[in-house]
Amino acid sequence: MPLNKSKTVYALLGWLSTGSFSGYDLKKMTEQYVGEFWYGSFGQIYPLLHEMLRDGLVTVQTEQSGSHPPRQVYTITDSGRDLFRKWLNEPPEPDLYKSELLLQLFFGYLADPETLRKHVQESLDEATRQLTEYGHWQKTIPKQLANLPNLPYILITLDSGLVAVHGRIEWAKRTLEMLDTISSEPQLKKKTKR
């Protein structure tokens, strides 16, 4: 249903409206700063940049750098800026969310309770790991990007991640307890046929 037609173009234009970058840079920055809610592989980004060049949204400068392939550094054009601004003010498509874990839990009565527990535990671990990472961002971002005009907006998206992670941690803990009570209830306990 939602979210297609390579909105990733706008992620790239967004970065390019703050400076000139190579495809490699753009991939890395996207991963680091917006990876929680947006991403694109090299196999997607490089062809996209070529299309953007063809459509006059960006220009390239080739930087010879001795070894490895020369850096192709892209710069946004006025027409690229216009398109980007137009998109910024358009209504966003609804979020996209899919979870294999929840699908398994929904039909979980047919699964081995211990295995299920293990997967929820792993989800909790991952969320906890992310929480400490967010704590790190909250400390360093205001210093690193203090000069960028979009600092308050970055903090908004950071907040969104934090709320989501807190929620997942809460839920996972509650779910672990629930799974314990389920598997200890004798009438629901699985038996190998006797």
Partner DNA sequence: GGGTGCATGTAATGGGTTACATGATTCT
Partner DNA sequence: AGAATCATGTAACCCATTACATGCACCC
- Taking residues 17 to 56 in sequence order and writing x for each that binds DNA by CB under 7 A, - otherwise, the string is -----xxxx--x----------xxxxxx-xx-xx------
The letter for the amino acid at 124 is L
Q: Considering only the C-alpha atoms of the chain, give the largest distance between any 2 of them, rounded to a whole number of Å.
A: 75
Q: Considering only residues 28 through 57, tell me which ones interact with a copy of itself, judged by CB under 8 A.
A: 33-34, 36-39, 41
Closest listed residue to residue 162, CA positions, set 142, 138, 144:
138
Query: Which of 175, 2, 177, 4 is closest to 101 using CA atoms?
Result: 175
Q: Work out what residue 11 binds among a copy of itself, DNA, none; the CB cut-off runs from 5 to 8 Å by kind.
A: a copy of itself
Does 14 help bind DNA (rule: CB under 7 A)?
no
Measured between alpha carbons, how far is 58 from 78 in angstroms, rounded to an integer?
9
Torsion sign across C-alpha atoms 74, 79, 81, 86: negative
Residue 36: name its binding partner from DNA, a copy of itself, none (Cβ under 5 to 8 Å by kind): a copy of itself
Q: What binding mask, one character per residue, do residues 100-139 give for a copy of itself by CB under 8 A, x or -?
A: xxxxxxxxxxxxx--xx--x--x---x-------------
Decide: residue 113, CB within 10 A, 0-12 exposed, 13-18 middle, 19+ buried: middle
Choices 55-63, 65-73, 134-142, 145-153 (CB under 8 A): range interacting with a copy of itself: 145-153
Positions that interact with DNA (CB under 7 A): 1-8, 22-25, 28, 39-44, 46-47, 49-50, 65-73
